Amino acid sequence: MSQSNLDARESALSVLDSFQTTATSLVSYQSNGRAIAIGDDEALACCRQWSDQSILTLVSASEKEIVVQGYLGSFIVRLIDSNGNPQNLEADIVLDLNPDPINQNEILPPGYLHTSINEENQREVEAQVLDLVGEFEKPKYFIYDPSICAHSVNGVTVCSRCIDACPAGAIQSGGSEIEVVPFLCQGGGTCATVCPSGAIQYAYPNLSDSGNQIRKMLQAYREAQGERAAVLFHGEAFSPQALMRQHDNLLPVRVEELASVGVELCMSALAYGASQVVLMLDETVPGLSIENLKRQVDWMQVLLKSIGINPQQISLQSDLMALSMIDSAIAIDPAIHSMADGKRNAFYQALDHLVTQFGCADVVADLPAGAPFGTVVIDENKCTLCMACIGACPGRALQDGSNREVPEVFFIENHCIQCGACTQTCPEQAITLAPRLIFDRESRNKSQALNRDEPFGCIECGKPFAPTSVIEKMLTQLEDHHMFNTPRALDRLKMCEDCRVVDIVQDPEAMKGDFDALN
């Protein structure tokens, strides 16, 4: 053990503990102690021995259907008995005494107790229920910015990553936006980790506070002559003391939920001077969170390898007794920039610093599917330049040209979040996604033409009014249509709107009532 590392760690952890995070708003609960116990006859018999029966409603688990909704102070238990009769019960607390919880979310709502009961522990269970009587507060853990959310575009659901990843079931679709129920949200953090745009972010602590806390901790460690700092992110249930005794360079950072640690914080820790970043799993991390953390680490390791860094210098580990440690340090000048507030800005700051320090060997890194960075590929043989993709793109990665007379689709890769809005709204299915990352910042921010077409000029007045490919496709598709069965009617497809109206009025056949479908 190095005494200088031990002394440096003490200084670093002192700085970490003294860091003041920005306060967030609070979510309040009011519980009067009305409880519903759900279980079999034996479990309910134990509940009948409680000292105060007035607050307790007993529900047999043999009911035909039981649905529990809500949270502390505002539960509704919906019952359907064997005869099909419905009943709604209200409660402040739900005591679920079944072997498997009725609520299937990995993180159960506040006020929902899932436990077993018997003669020996019935008083203990009663005390747990009574502890949930009164007024309670918790932080509001999330910030949501609907203006950059890719959930729904033009009435089509595009991205549901946060909904699918929330282990508490606190996020649902609200149509054009997502809706987060703050009373159900318990700060799991997975939503912020998987969100490609940063529309939903962890609020307590916020990203800027988390990054600057790590930056100042690592700075204090270096100034005290510490070497090879290894940052260990861990949840509240994990104690790092045994590992700290084994590794003098280990800097443990406790977070409320491990899944709140995303790629932007891990990459920033390396940029700020950490030689290794470890995300330590324990038995309290929900399965959904683990799956998403694994995906994040997988594509971070692809990036590190492409930059020239050992991929294992960011890792997800679960051995609570031993760590896979890396002896070598990353020889860079640590970044000094303050952590950005936005998820993508923070990530790009860290990436650009690492790329500059290592003189990146690869120009582009191909990433696994689901990574929130990449390009789009347009099949020119299918694309009609209808511009539906441009209107759908929530990140403004797809844009039309400044010369509106020339149909063009431009693309800025830095803005692409790989949400799939373009692929889902393209009527010709001409677009595919390609997850990747360009390391050169200038190339990433450069606008590039993906497809262009010559404008089609009206055969009467010459005014450009549509892409040539669109007109050609219409002519092919409608040449056998009964409303375009004359050369004159078919030629109207080649006219601008004004000339088309004039020609219809002058066409005796059209004026008999056979108007074409475009008017």
Pairwise pLDDT comparison (328 vs 508), residue with the higher score: 508
Q: Contact, 91 vs 36, CB < 8 A?
A: yes
| CATH topology identical between 140-202 and 374-452 | yes
So what's the pLDDT on residue 515? Answer: 47
Q: Contact, 87 vs 81, CB < 8 A?
A: yes
CATH class of 140-202: alpha beta
So what's the pLDDT on residue 45? Answer: 95
Looking at 20-24, 312-316, 337-341, which range is the least confident one? 20-24
Check residue 458 and report its DSSP letter. Answer: P
Check residue 22 and report its DSSP letter. Answer: P
Structure tokens at 319: 């051995």
Pairwise pLDDT comparison (52 vs 167), residue with the higher score: 167
So what's the pLDDT on residue 513? Answer: 56
Report the distance separating Cα 399 and Cα 390, nearest Å. 5
Q: What is the pTM of this model?
A: 0.84
Question: Bridge-partner residues for 464, per DSSP?
Answer: 457
Residues 142-159 have a mean pLDDT of: 91
Report the distance separating Cα 120 and Cα 114, nearest Å. 17
Q: Confidence class of residue 138 from pLDDT cuts 50, 70 and 90?
A: very high
Q: Is the dihedral of CA 382, 388, 394, 398 positive or negative?
A: positive
Mean pLDDT of the chain: 91
How far does Cα 324 stand from its chain's mean position?
A: 29
Largest CA distance in the chain: 100
Fold of 374-452: Alpha-Beta Plaits (3.30.70)
Tens-digit pLDDT profile for residues 215-242: 999 999 999 999 999 999 999 999 999 9
So what's the pLDDT on residue 288? Answer: 92
Percent of the chain with pLDDT over 90: 75
Domain coordinates in residue numbering, the chain: 3-20+205-362, 26-138, 140-202, 374-452, 455-511
Q: Confidence class of residue 101 from pLDDT cuts 50, 70 and 90?
A: very high
